[in-house]
Structure 1
Amino acid sequence: MTSPESEKPELDCREVLEEVYLYIDDECSEVRRSVIRAHLDECSPCLAEYGIEQEVRTIVHRCCSKEQAPQEVKERLRRKLSAIEQVGEVFTEVAERER
């Protein structure tokens, strides 16, 4: 007998296809990956769609992996990421003071 905590949630096809990019990019939890993998193993239409998505990713990577962003774009991104990090630190400090 399995406990509710150990049961894996079932996903419908719509949910799987919405999350296939997270799965392909390895950007979801191991539990979520195993749930999606189990669905793909059992659902031919979703597996075919996943195959198409994976192929598109491979082609894009092959065609664009040598592309370099202009230095101006890199610097702008660095500045924005730094600003986001600073704002996050301020929010963390405020939250810690309020405890």
Structure 2
Amino acid sequence: MSCDGPDCEKALRNLYNFLDHELDGASCDEIQTHLDDCSNCLTEYHLEEIVKSLVGRSCTETAPPPLRDKVLYRIRSVQVEIRTETLP
């Protein structure tokens, strides 16, 4: 990521959420406007879009149930740890 400036930094920091349609409408509009005006960030966006597409096409296997259960258990454990640490 070689862009400069706070607008570029914000756009690139939120690029993955933008690609995954996980931002609210106002944030999406703001990033889209920036991408329309900034060729460096637009290039980075296209690169990440290509990588996401390649990964999506390459990762078609489903994890075995025991592995999936272990991963989900670990995610939940970390969530509990984080919540416990943030309690007053």
TM-score relative to the length of structure 2? 0.72
Find the aligned partners of 2:71 and 2:51 in 1 and give their Cα distance.
26
Unaligned runs of 5+ in 2: 1-5, 81-88
Q: Map 1:78-97; keep pairs closer than 5 Å.
A: 78-79=72-73
For 2:67, the equivalent position in structure 1 comes to 73
Bigger radius of gyration among the two:
1
How many residues end up aligned between the 2 structures? Answer: 76
For 1:6, the equivalent position in structure 2 comes to none
Find the aligned partners of 1:30 and 1:73 in 2 and give their Cα distance.
36
Secondary structure at the residue paired with 1:32?
A: helix
- Higher RCO, Cα 8 Å, sep 6+: 2
For 2:16, the equivalent position in structure 1 comes to 21
Mean alpha-carbon deviation: is it higher for 69-78 or for 27-36?
69-78
Judged with a 3 Å threshold, the aligned counterparts in structure 2 of structure 1 residues 82 and 13 are, in CA distance, closer, same or farther, namely closer
TM-score relative to the length of structure 1? 0.64
Find the aligned partners of 2:49 and 2:76 in 1 and give their Cα distance.
33
